[in-house]
Amino acid sequence: RREGFFSLARSCLYTAAVLLAVQALHAADVAYRDLKPENILLDAQGHAVVSDFGLAREGISRLPDGARSLCGSPAYMAPEVLSGAGHGTAVDYWALGTLLFEMLTGVPPFYHRDPHRMSRAILYDEPAYPRHLKWPARALLRTLLQRDPARRAGSPEAGGPAKVRRARFFRRLDFERVLRRGYTPVFEPRPDAE
């Protein structure tokens, strides 16, 4: 919040780390369902880690229409959650797109103080991309913020997480190196001096 928004390099590294966490959860048939900045923590070296699994749902693929509960933080909810249509793991890729948009711009793409207007924007509006967002970021965001969960980047029908990792936005990152924490984070938390 203090910085407003992050650099492209910092956003890319954090998004890659969160993507790997989401991918691992989905491989275990778990939908996270509450991806937002408050649930992404930095370890002592500055690597992003996912926390707070209170809304996670196990066995999501065994549900005929997916989960139906209205859960998560309003600004990060996927359209299928808001509409009550039933949802699966694709909701986490919508939230990943929302999180990336916020890292790059300082605000979620559909944010409004009025929750009804925000919900309506999530269901029907297109995000306004600031001019400073370059094509690789816009292209990834458009595929993650796809309203149809079957066409949303990351969903099994749209090529799964491997397709997201191949996005041009991540072209300078080696995901195996991200997994090994081989990159030096742009920001390193400093313990409070007392």
Q: Which residues are catalytic?
A: 34
- Look up tokens 């949802």; give the residue: 87
Burial of 154 (0-12, 13-18, 19+ CB in 10 A): buried
Instruction: Give ∠ CA 164-99-130 in degrees, rounded to 5.
Output: 95
Encoded amino acid at 18, one letter = V
Beta bridge partners of 48: 42
Cα-Cα-Cα-Cα dihedral sign, residues 176, 52, 123, 126 = negative
Collapsed DSSP state (helix, strand, coil) of residue 58: strand
- Report the chain's C-alpha Rg in angstroms: 16
* Integer Cα distance of 44 and 3 in angstroms: 19
The answer to whether 110 and 118 are in contact (CB under 8 A) is yes
